[in-house]
Chains A and B, each alone.
Chain A
Amino acid sequence: MTHYNTIGKDMDVLVKDQGSVFGKSKILTYDGSFNGFLTAVFKVYEEKITVSDIQRFGEVQNALFADNERVYTNNEKAKRVWKGIQAKNQQALKNIYFAFLSEKKGIELMLLHYIQKMFVNKASVHIDFSDATVLKISQLSKSVGREKHRMEAFVRFQLTKDGIYFANIDPDFNVLPLISKHFRNRYADQEWIIYDIKRKYGLYYNGSSMELISLDMAEVYTNSIRKSDRFLEEEYDYQTLWNNYFKSTNIKSRINKKLHTQHVPKRYWKYLSEKKAI
C-alpha cells in the first residue's frame, strides 16, 4: 500500500519539472483500453515527456514535428496511476473513467490535463466548475452516465429457443462495462446476453457467472414485425402484450410527441418492442 501513497507526491514533482522541459513533443499511441491509457499517463510522468496527443493505435494522425511512440499496456503501471488518482479523490476517478468511455476524439489529452491539474493542486480541483477542462470532463462524465441509465432502461430482452434472454444494443458511448453489475444483480436467476453491435462485444451471464463474448452476428434483432426462428412463439406473444399495454396506457387528450421523443430519442426506437408497428 505504501508505494501507492507516494505516487501522488512523485507526480507533483514531475509536473512541476515539466514546465522547464523544452524539446519536441510526442504523440503517444495506445491500444484503446482504459489500462492502456493509464499506462500512457504513467509513461508521461516516468519519462517526464511533453505530449501533444495520445491516440488510439491505428488511428494516428501524424503531426508534422512530433515523434510517435507506442505505449504497451502494463496493468501494474495502470493500477498505480488508478490508485494514485483514487487516493486524491474518488469522484474524480469516476469522472475520469466515465469520460474516457465517451470515446470522444481528443478525450485522452483532455484527461491527461485533468489528471495533471489534480496533482499540482492540493484542493479538490474536480469541483472547480469555473475551470473549462474540469467542467467539460464533468459534463462528459454526466453524458456517459445518462447513456448508462438509458441502457438500463431500454434494453429489451427476447427469449431464445435455448432459454437465453438476448438483447442487442448500439449505445452512443461504450457503456457495457458500466451496466454489467446492474443486470447481474437484477437478473440473477436467468441466462442473458447483452451484445454491443457497434463495438462487437457483449456480456454473457450463465446464471452464476459472467463472461465477455464476441459473436458472429449475421443479423441484428430489431423490433421488426418479421419473426425470427431463433425466438420462441411465446416471446412474440409477450411483445404483443407489451406493445398493447403501451398503447392502452397513453392518454390521447394529453398527447405530447415532442416530450415523448425527448425522453425516448428516435435512434433507440428500433430496439423497443413497444414501438413496433403492429
Chain B
Amino acid sequence: MSFERIREKLNILADAAKYDVSCASSGGNRKNTNNGLGDSSAMGICHSYTEDGRCVSLLKILFTNHCIFDCAYCVTRKSNDIKRAAFKIQEVVDLTINFYRRNYIEGLFLSSGIFKNPDYTMERLIAVAKKLRLEENFNGYIHLKSIPGASDELMYEAGLYADRLSVNIEIPTISGLKLLAPDKKHEDFTKPMRKVSNEIIKYNDERKIIKTTPRYAPAGQSTQMIVGATGESDRDIMYSANHYYKAYHMKRVYYSGYIPVANDNRLPSIGSQVPVLRENRLYQTDWLMRFYGFKVEELLNSEHPNLDKDIDPKLGWALRNLDLFPVDINRADKSLLARIPGIGMQSVAKILNARQFRRLNWEHLKRIGIAINRARYFIVCDSRHWEYRDLPAEKIKGMILQHSTSKYRSLIGSQLKLFNS
C-alpha cells in the first residue's frame, strides 16, 4: 500500500468520525474460535485516551466523508468546503488487523457519509465486516453504523457480522430535525432501529429452541443525541432518551455537547463554548435512570424542565424531597440507600455487606469511601452526631457548595451566565 496516501486518508476520515462519542467495546461476548485472532468476550478496554480525555477503544473512522446530505450540524455536510476521501474495503481491513495485532484497539467502529444512496453505502460497510470475520477470522469488536434509510435486508445482514449497530438520532426533537436536516425524515432513523430491535428479540427467542441460530448483534444497539444545538430542554432530551431505552431496548444513549462546525444562523456560532458541564449532568441523570432506580419523571418534569448546573441531579432530587430523609444507614433497604446523595452503587454494596457484622458509624462510612460532605445531611448512623436541625433546602445546598471543590467550579459561573442570558 502507499503509506503516504493511507496516512492522508486516515487523517481525514478519523478527523471526520471523532464527533461520534460512542466508544463502548463491551457486551460482545465473542470468543476466540479456531485459534484465530482476537477475543471480545470480556469487558471492554480503553487502550488510550485522547488529550480531550475521551477513551480510545476502537479504530473509529468513516468509510468516506463524501455525502449527499446537507445536515447543518454535521461537519461532512455536502455544502462544507473540506477535503474529501474514501477508503477501499481492503485498506480498512488491513488497518484494523494491524492495529489490533499491536494491541492498539479492541476493534473497528465504521461509519460513513452517505454516497449514491443509503443501501449502496450500507453494503460497503457490511463488506468490510464480512471480510474481517470470514477471511481474517477476526473475533474483535465491530461496531457498524446503521445508515438512515437502509433496507431491512441489509440491516439483517449487518447484524450477522457486527457486535453493535447504531444510528444516531442526533436531534432530540422532530421539530429540530426539520429545521436542521430538512432532507431527512424522522422515520429514516427509526426504521433501521426498529428492524435491529426486532431482530434481536427474534434471535433471543429462536436461540432458546435452535442453538445454532446465527448470532445477531450481541452487543445490541446505541444512539447519540447532540446537546445544545436547537435550544431543547434537559427534559426534552432525557424523555426522548428514556423513550429509546424503552421502545428500542438501547444499550446506551450518548449525549454529545454540540461543537460548532459551521457558521449557520440556525446554530450556535463557531467559537461558542462546548456545553461539557451540561453534558455531564445529562450522563449523571442517565445513570440514575439505569442503575439507581430513578424514574425520569422524578428528576425532570414540568416544574423542573432543566437540571441544576451547580449540583448533581441526585442531590437536586433529595433537596426537593427532604421529607424522605434522614435515612438510617443501618436499616434502610438497597433502593433507599441508592437514593442518598454522595453514595454510589459500589458504596451501597459495601454498606450492605459491612452492616451484617456491626452497626456502622461515621468512621466506617468515611473509610468505605462515601462523600460525607454531601451525605451527612441525609443520614443517621451509629453515632449520636447527626444533622438534627430542620435545615431548609437552600441552606443545605449552600453548606455543601461551600465545602465542595467541583472540578467544574470554573465552568459553573460562566456557563450559568450563558444559559441565563
> In the complex, how many angstroms separate the beta carbon of A273 from the nearest chain B beta carbon?
8
What per-residue 1/0 map shows which CB atoms of B232-273 lie under 8 Å from chain A?
000000000000000000000000010100000000000000
Across-interface contacts of B368 in A (CB, < 8 A): 129-130, 135
Cβ–Cβ contact B53 & A259, under 8 A: yes
* Of B14, B54, B103, the contact of A245 (CB 8 Å cutoff): B14
Cβ–Cβ contact A149 & B103, under 8 A: no
Q: Let me know if B357 is at the binding interface, CB within 8 A.
A: yes
What per-residue 1/0 map shows which CB atoms of A230-249 lie under 8 Å from chain B?
00000001101110111011
Across-interface contacts of A153 in B (CB, < 8 A): 45-48
Q: Let me know if B404 is at the binding interface, CB within 8 A.
A: no
Cβ–Cβ contact A188 & B51, under 8 A: no
Q: Let me know if A254 is at the binding interface, CB within 8 A.
A: yes
Q: Let me know if A82 is at the binding interface, CB within 8 A.
A: no
With A and B bound together, what is the CA distance between A134 and B206 in angstroms?
46
* Of A131, A182, A189, the contact of B35 (CB 8 Å cutoff): A189
* Of A152, A237, A256, the contact of B51 (CB 8 Å cutoff): A256
Cβ–Cβ contact A238 & B15, under 8 A: no
> In the complex, how many angstroms separate the beta carbon of A169 from the nearest chain B beta carbon?
11
Cβ–Cβ contact A249 & B18, under 8 A: yes
Q: Let me know if B6 is at the binding interface, CB within 8 A.
A: yes
Q: Let me know if B356 is at the binding interface, CB within 8 A.
A: yes
Across-interface contacts of B372 in A (CB, < 8 A): none
* Of A128, A238, A254, A258, the contact of B276 (CB 8 Å cutoff): A254
Across-interface contacts of B350 in A (CB, < 8 A): 129
- A157-B101, A187-B101, A263-B49 known; A254 vs B274 contact (CB < 8 Å): yes
Across-interface contacts of A128 in B (CB, < 8 A): 353-354, 356-357
With A and B bound together, what is the CA distance between A260 and B10 in angstroms?
23
Q: Let me know if A7 is at the binding interface, CB within 8 A.
A: no
Across-interface contacts of B101 in A (CB, < 8 A): 157, 159, 165, 187, 190
- A167-B103, A274-B48 known; A240 vs B7 contact (CB < 8 Å): yes
What per-residue 1/0 map shows which CB atoms of B47-84 lie under 8 Å from chain A?
11111111110011000000000000000000000000
Q: Let me know if B159 is at the binding interface, CB within 8 A.
A: no
Cβ–Cβ contact A259 & B49, under 8 A: yes
Q: Let me know if A63 is at the binding interface, CB within 8 A.
A: no
Cβ–Cβ contact B103 & A156, under 8 A: yes
* Of B36, B60, B355, the contact of A188 (CB 8 Å cutoff): B36
Interface size class of B (residues with CB under 8 A): 35 or more
The number of residues on chain A lying at the interface, defined by a beta carbon within 8 Å of a beta carbon of chain B, is 53
B21: nearest chain-A partner, CB-CB: A251
B11: nearest chain-A partner, CB-CB: A248
B365: nearest chain-A partner, CB-CB: A130
With A and B bound together, what is the CA distance between A262 and B14 in angstroms?
24
Across-interface contacts of B45 in A (CB, < 8 A): 149, 152-153
Across-interface contacts of B360 in A (CB, < 8 A): 130
Q: Let me know if B42 is at the binding interface, CB within 8 A.
A: yes
Cβ–Cβ contact A123 & B274, under 8 A: no
B55: nearest chain-A partner, CB-CB: A263
With A and B bound together, what is the CA distance between A238 and B98 in angstroms?
7
> In the complex, how many angstroms separate the beta carbon of B100 from the nearest chain A beta carbon?
9
Across-interface contacts of A256 in B (CB, < 8 A): 51-53
With A and B bound together, what is the CA distance between A242 and B7 in angstroms?
9
With A and B bound together, what is the CA distance between A251 and B279 in angstroms?
15
Across-interface contacts of B47 in A (CB, < 8 A): 153-154
Cβ–Cβ contact A260 & B49, under 8 A: yes
Q: Let me know if B199 is at the binding interface, CB within 8 A.
A: no
* Of B17, B54, B353, B364, the contact of A127 (CB 8 Å cutoff): B353
Q: Let me know if A102 is at the binding interface, CB within 8 A.
A: no
Q: Let me know if B384 is at the binding interface, CB within 8 A.
A: no
Cβ–Cβ contact A241 & B6, under 8 A: yes
With A and B bound together, what is the CA distance between A57 and B54 in angstroms?
45
Q: Let me know if A255 is at the binding interface, CB within 8 A.
A: yes
Cβ–Cβ contact B52 & A246, under 8 A: no
With A and B bound together, what is the CA distance between A78 and B382 in angstroms?
41
With A and B bound together, what is the CA distance between A187 and B360 in angstroms?
47
Q: Let me know if A2 is at the binding interface, CB within 8 A.
A: no
Across-interface contacts of B137 in A (CB, < 8 A): 189
Q: Let me know if A272 is at the binding interface, CB within 8 A.
A: yes
Cβ–Cβ contact A130 & B354, under 8 A: yes
Q: Let me know if B3 is at the binding interface, CB within 8 A.
A: yes
Cβ–Cβ contact A135 & B104, under 8 A: no
Q: Let me know if B152 is at the binding interface, CB within 8 A.
A: no
* Of A123, A189, A242, the contact of B36 (CB 8 Å cutoff): A189
* Of B7, B52, B95, the contact of A251 (CB 8 Å cutoff): B52
With A and B bound together, what is the CA distance between A241 and B97 in angstroms?
13
Q: Which of A257-278 contact B (CB under 8 A)?
A: 257-260, 262-264, 272-274
Most central of A135, A250, A262 by chain B CB within 10 Å: A250
Q: Let me know if A104 is at the binding interface, CB within 8 A.
A: no
What per-residue 1/0 map shows which CB atoms of A204-241 lie under 8 Å from chain B?
00000000000000000000000000000000011011
Cβ–Cβ contact B36 & A244, under 8 A: no
Across-interface contacts of B56 in A (CB, < 8 A): 246, 249, 274
Q: Let me know if B37 is at the binding interface, CB within 8 A.
A: yes
> In the complex, how many angstroms separate the beta carbon of B312 from the nearest chain A beta carbon?
18
Cβ–Cβ contact A257 & B51, under 8 A: yes
Q: Can you show 12 pairs from A to B with CB atoms below 8 A apart?
A: A128-B353, A154-B48, A156-B103, A185-B31, A186-B38, A238-B98, A244-B14, A248-B11, A248-B14, A249-B18, A259-B49, A260-B50
Give the interface of B toward A (CB within 8 A). Answer: 3, 6-7, 10-11, 14-15, 17-19, 31-32, 35-39, 41-42, 45-56, 59-60, 95, 98-99, 101-104, 137, 257, 259, 274, 276, 350-351, 353-358, 360, 364, 367-368, 407
Give the interface of A toward B (CB within 8 A). Answer: 123, 127-132, 135, 149, 152-159, 165, 167, 182, 185-190, 237-238, 240-242, 244-246, 248-260, 262-264, 272-274
Q: Which 10 A-B pairs have the closest CB atoms?
A: A259-B53, A127-B353, A248-B14, A254-B52, A263-B49, A256-B53, A129-B354, A250-B50, A130-B364, A128-B357
